[in-house]
Structures are given as structure tokens and as C-alpha cells.
Amino acid sequence: MPRDIGGYFEMDFNMASCLHQDALELNTARNCFEYILLAKKIEKIYIPHYTCGVMLEPLKRHDVKYIYYNLDENMAPILPASVDSSDYLLYTNYFGIKQDIVEHLSLKYKNLIIDNSMAFYAPRKEKLDTFYSARKFFGVSDGAYLYTEKKLELEFEEDLSHTRMLHLFKRIELGANEAYQNFLDDDLSLYDQPIRRMSPVTKRILLTTDQLKYKAIRERNFLFLHHQLEYSNELKIGLTSLCGPMFYPFLYDSVELRAKLIENKIYVPMLWKNALETAESNSFEHYLTKNLFALPIDQRYSLNDMQFILDKIQLQ
């Protein structure tokens, strides 16, 4: 199409530091997973109970056999000794702090797929199928990056994002509460979407986001919280794998804490309630789902904000 010249102005962005420019740019992380399933012709895969339920979409769509596995208290897989060499294993780099487990698994399992949806800044281990989610880290409504050695000889349509961005603009002007239903609606619109190339709007925003600066802020905020919460946190955290984490994962047995935080406009999602249905009631996954508080640490927040969170937690 000929370029439009003149008329009203479009949104303007300045170029900034940007990661994953040599990856395949697709519309969602679950579709990155679907791409791998198709490219590798996967018939059977082990997946964690503790993962987003949308990861089942491509498995069911292509009739791939999947077997759930549990996690130990270090978030490492508990797998049967009978895993066949032809079977695949999906592992999530939880909260962006489990790169050490990724490294260990890569030495043990040939057919390993890494879900870095919670670990945008984690390095991709060479030749390992790995995918990343942009919308969990930045103000975009979609977008994902895929690294794989096996390419599909298919042409994919370009995605369009403009119809699912209302929650992003509305939050700026009216706040998170007023935009929450729009967020749910926009999120729902991603269900059962085919594999598409990343939209021009999402790509433009990501190319103009100072991602390395944001990484440093995330790590600073994470360490600030960890200094105060380490000895109360039931999830033992090693700092050697810290790399621009998504949240500060605070595991703490409290019935009242979630409601108290949300009452003070500190929004802590209950991650992956689907694990309550698939895992045993006495499992670690059940305990994680009910008692893990994903404390916000991202680039929007200062150390004063981190102190505000700590003040509201008020551990004795």
C-alpha cells in the first residue's frame, strides 16, 4: 500500500533499547508453544500443574497427549523415571528466578521447551526451544517472542491490536479499577486465536520501550523487598538466577493478607487457579495457588512504593 502523507498525526515513539530482535515475533506466548508443537510434530508432552490454563489450548486443538507433573519446593519438576527420550517436557521459568533449574534440565532432557513468559530477561540457552511474553512485562495488549531451530514453512497473517487496547488507555485516564473489566474483555479476545505475526502497534511500542532500564528497576525493587521478607518467605529464593523478574513471589500462609493488600490498591493476582482442579488437594501446587502473593516490582514503582507494600504487609 502507498504510504499515507499528511492528515492527522499518529502516535509517535522514539527508538530505545530492545531485546529479542532476532526472535520470531508472534501474537501470543501460547501460540509460540503451538508453533513448536507443529514444527516438532510433538505427540506427547509433560506439563506442570502450576501453569496458565491457556497453555492447554494448542494441546487440545492438535490432540497432543499431555501428562501433568508436580513441583518440589524449589519449583523443580518431579518427573517419573520412565520419561521416554522421544517425549517432550515443558518447564516454566517461574517468576524469572529459576534459570538455574533451566540449566540443570537442559543437561538432562533432550526435548526440553522453556516457557519464559514470566522471565522476559532470562537468556535463551542455545538451541533450546524458548518463548517469551511481552504483555506480562510492558504496556502492550499482546506480543510474544519465539526461539526455535525448527521453522514452519507457512505464512502467517499479521495480527491487529487496536481493538484490544482500550484497557491500556483507560487505565491512564481513569485508573486500574475503572479499566479492569476492559482488561478482562481484551484478555478474553486472545482465546483461541490462530498463530499470527506480531501486530505493528505492539511491535512499535516494544521497539520504543527502554527495556534494559526497566530490568534494572525490577531487580532493585525485588532486592529491596527480599531484604525485608526473606526470612518470612516460605519460598526460598536464590539470587544467582535473578534476571529482571516478573514479581516478588512471597509465599506466606495468611487468610487475610490478599484482601488487605487489594483493599490498599496493591493488586496481587491469584495465579493459575486451574491448578486447584488438576493437582491433588494436598499438593504443593494447591498451597502455591492459595498462598503465593505476586508482589508488584515493575518499572512503574519506586522504592517508596516498595516500602508502602511492606508497611501494609506488617509482619510480626
- pLDDT recorded at residue 244: 94
CA distances (Å), origin 94, targets 70, 131, 187, 243: 14, 13, 21, 11
Phi, psi of 43 (to 5 degrees): -110, -20
Q: What is the pLDDT of residue 221?
A: 96
- Residue with the bigger pLDDT between 8 and 19: it is 19
Residue 5 has pLDDT above 70, yes or no: no
Q: What is the pLDDT of residue 316?
A: 44
Q: What is the pLDDT of residue 18?
A: 80
Using the predicted structure, report yes or no on whether residue 4 has a pLDDT greater than 80: no
Check pLDDT > 70 for residue 272: yes
The continuous run of DSSP H or E covering 272 comes out as none
> For residues 156 and 38, is the Cβ–Cβ distance under 8 A?
no
In this prediction, residue 255 carries a pLDDT of: 83
Q: For residue 288, which phi and psi values (nearest 5 degrees)?
A: -60, -50
pLDDT of 294: 95
Average predicted confidence (pLDDT) for the chain = 92
pLDDT score for 9: 58
Average pLDDT over residues 38-65: 96
Residue with cell 533449574: 101
pLDDT over 90 at 3, yes or no? no
pLDDT tens digits along 221-241: 999 999 999 999 999 898 988
What is the arithmetic mean of pLDDT over 144-163?
A: 94
| Residue 253 CB neighbours (<10 A) | 9
| Residue 25, beta-bridge partner list | 145
* Overall average pLDDT of the 213-219 stretch: 95
Q: Of 135, 132, 133, 129, whose CA–CA distance to 152 is shortest? A: 129
Q: Give the model's pLDDT for residue 288.
A: 95
Residue 1 binned pLDDT confidence (cut-offs 50, 70, 90):
low
Nearest-angstrom CA–CA distance, 48 and 90:
7
Confidence of residue 116 (pLDDT cuts 50, 70, 90): very high
